[in-house]
């Protein structure tokens, strides 16, 4: 078979090549004369013309692909263009975003700062965006006025959510580290005090020639120190169990009136400088509760009443029935608590300062009370006025 082309075919091919050459010459002329924005780039396959249309396509693909919100605004704030990332950020369909005012997507307190940014040739700052479903998104706006007709403004919007979370996590870790250091210091001090009393009292009591009555007094001091130490350890154990989700209540039917009276009899030894008064009705129903944990709550509340009230004053321990619960209260006639301090009392390491005397303790007792009461399904609160004493109450389901 012959591969020769006919004269007609050769003429047609020649005409096509002439036309392509003419087109190329015209393109080069337009480029060199500035009529067309383009670059001629040397590639492996030869010279390639890269036009403005190609660059615009690449630019748009890049803008749509980045993980930043990009919008073009009118000077008044109308959104002329938005990429998909910004639409996703505000939780709206892209078609509904374009044409909407950008101020519709920011919180009221961010509108004036954003308006101030748009009035400048370039600016930046943090703006809180509100999505369509009400989610607040912390963002960083960087704006630039473009030197085009009508002076549109380009804004790049960065979502700061992860950055803020990281900052909050770092701050929380620093606070936890500080609390840990404070906790170790407080525990060391509070444990050392009763230990010092115990060791000193026992050492002297064992000395030769000590009178029996003096030895007895020293042994009582040692006993008091051991009870203080036991109180600290009990609170630390309960908090540790709660933090590690190992707090397990041993509930059983108990006669709360008998529990409170028995507790008062034992506690009178430690409250001999105060008048412990009971107000406990006889006809209270039995409840399901952890007796040891209920007594630990009472120990902490009465201990606080002793710390913050003068010797010789009354401490009242009362129980009353309420719909669906029993309300147990410990009242004193001490220094009272300012209203602004009452909510913080149930947080770690919170202690009131008594200007008339130093106050011992870790500031954990009320936190332990809160955890144990809530574990029973109850609640705890305080009613107090400065100079008129305080009443701490808690409920147990009945």
Looking at the DSSP assignment, which residues form a beta bridge with residue 48? 41
Single pTM value for the model: 0.53
Spell out where the chain has E strands. Answer: 38-43, 46-51, 69-73, 79-82, 122-130, 136-145, 153-159, 252-254, 275-279, 287-289, 314-322, 325-331, 380-384, 390-397
Calculate the average pLDDT of the chain.
Answer: 84
Residue 186 pLDDT level (bands cut at 50, 70, 90): low
- Tens-place pLDDT, residues 192-208: 777 887 888 888 888 88
Reduce the DSSP state of residue 381 to 3 states and report it. strand
Burial class (CB in 10 A: 0-12, 13-18, 19+), 392: buried
pLDDT of residue 136: 95
| CB-based contact 263:389 (threshold 8 Å) | no
- Tens-place pLDDT, residues 256-311: 999 999 999 888 776 778 899 999 998 899 999 999 999 999 988 998 898 888 88
- Residue-wise burial string across 350-375, b where 16 or more C-beta atoms lie within 10 A, e elsewhere: ebbeeeeeeeebbbbbbbbbbbbbeb
Q: How do strand 314-322 and strand 325-331 relate by DSSP bridges?
A: antiparallel
290 Cβ neighbours under 8 A, 6+ residues apart: 249, 250, 251, 252, 372, 376
Of the candidates 198, 199, 193, 183, which has an alpha carbon nearest to the alpha carbon of residue 236? 183
Of the candidates 28, 32, 30, 48, which has an alpha carbon nearest to the alpha carbon of residue 40? 48
Q: How far apart are CA 142 and CA 117, in angstroms?
A: 9
| CB-based contact 295:274 (threshold 8 Å) | no
Whole-number percent of the chain with pLDDT over 70:
84
- Tens-place pLDDT, residues 64-122: 888 899 999 999 999 999 999 999 999 999 989 999 999 999 999 999 999 999 999 99
DSSP secondary structure letters along 235-252: HHHHHHHHHTT------E
Q: How far apart are CA 218 and CA 229, in angstroms?
A: 17
- Tens-place pLDDT, residues 308-349: 888 889 999 999 999 999 999 999 999 898 888 888 888 876
Query: Taking 80 as the threshold, does the pLDDT of residue 148 lie above it?
Result: no
Q: How do strand 252-254 and strand 69-73 relate by DSSP bridges?
A: unpaired
Mean pLDDT, to the nearest integer, of 155-180? 86
Query: Taking 80 as the threshold, does the pLDDT of residue 179 lie above it?
Result: no
* DSSP structural state of residue 104: G
**Which of the pair, 220 or 372, is modelled with greater confidence?**
372
| CB-based contact 147:166 (threshold 8 Å) | no
Residue 39 pLDDT level (bands cut at 50, 70, 90): low
| CB-based contact 71:143 (threshold 8 Å) | no
Phi, psi of 333, rounded to the nearest 5 degrees: -120, 45
Of the candidates 330, 334, 370, which has an alpha carbon nearest to the alpha carbon of residue 350? 370
pLDDT of residue 387: 87
315 Cβ neighbours under 8 A, 6+ residues apart: 271, 274, 275, 276, 277, 302, 305, 306, 309, 330, 331, 332
pLDDT of residue 31: 58
- Tens-place pLDDT, residues 125-142: 999 999 988 999 999 999
Query: Which of 50-59, 226-235, 389-398 is least confident?
Result: 50-59
**Which of the pair, 179 or 302, is modelled with greater confidence?**
302
Reduce the DSSP state of residue 199 to 3 states and report it. helix
| CB-based contact 219:206 (threshold 8 Å) | no
Q: How far apart are CA 310 and CA 274, in angstroms?
A: 8
Query: Taking 90 as the threshold, does the pLDDT of residue 18 lie above it?
Result: no
Question: What would you measure as the largest C-alpha separation in the chain, in angstroms?
Answer: 141
């Amino acid at each position: 078979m012959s591969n020769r082309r006919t004269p007609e075919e050769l003429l047609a091919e020649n005409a096509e090549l002439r036309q392509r050459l003419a087109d190329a010459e015209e393109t080069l002329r337009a480029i060199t004369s500035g009529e067309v924005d383009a670059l001629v780039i040397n590639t492996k396959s030869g010279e390639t013309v890269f036009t403005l249309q190609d660059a615009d396509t690449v630019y748009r693909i890049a803008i749509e692909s980045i993980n930043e919100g990009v919008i073009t605004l009118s000077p008044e704030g109308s959104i002329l263009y938005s990429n998909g990332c910004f639409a996703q950020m505000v939780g709206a369909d892209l078609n509904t975003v374009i044409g909407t005012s950008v101020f519709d997507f920011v919180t009221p307190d961010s509108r004036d700062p954003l308006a101030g940014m748009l009035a400048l040739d370039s600016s930046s700052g943090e703006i809180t965006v509100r999505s369509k479903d009400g989610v607040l998104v912390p963002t960083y706006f960087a704006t630039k006025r473009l030197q085009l007709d009508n002076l549109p403004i380009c804004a790049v919007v960065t979502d700061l959510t992860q950055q803020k979370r990281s900052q909050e996590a770092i701050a929380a870790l620093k606070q936890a580290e500080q609390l840990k250091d404070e906790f170790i210091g407080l525990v060391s001090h509070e444990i050392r005090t009763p230990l010092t009393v115990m060791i000193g009292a026992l050492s002297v009591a064992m000395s030769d020639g000590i009178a029996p009555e003096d030895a007895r007094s020293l042994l009582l001091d040692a006993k008091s120190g051991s009870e203080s130490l036991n109180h600290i350890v009990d609170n630390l154990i309960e908090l540790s169990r709660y933090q590690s989700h190992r707090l397990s209540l041993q509930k059983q039917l108990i006669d709360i009136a008998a529990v409170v009276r028995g507790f008062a009899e034992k506690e009178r030894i430690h409250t001999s400088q105060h008048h412990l008064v009971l107000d406990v009705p006889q006809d209270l129903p039995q409840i399901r509760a952890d007796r040891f944990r209920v007594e630990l709550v009472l120990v902490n509340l009465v201990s606080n009443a002793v710390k913050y009230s003068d010797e010789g004053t009354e401490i009242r321990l009362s129980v009353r029935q309420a719909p669906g619960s029993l309300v147990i209260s410990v009242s004193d006639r001490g220094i009272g608590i300012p209203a602004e301090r009452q909510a913080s009392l149930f947080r770690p390491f919170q202690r009131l300062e008594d200007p008339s005397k130093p106050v011992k303790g870790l500031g954990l007792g009320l936190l332990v009370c809160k955890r144990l009461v809530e574990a029973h399904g109850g609640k705890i609160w305080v009613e107090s006025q400065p100079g008129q004493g305080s009443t701490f109450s808690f409920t147990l389901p009945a």
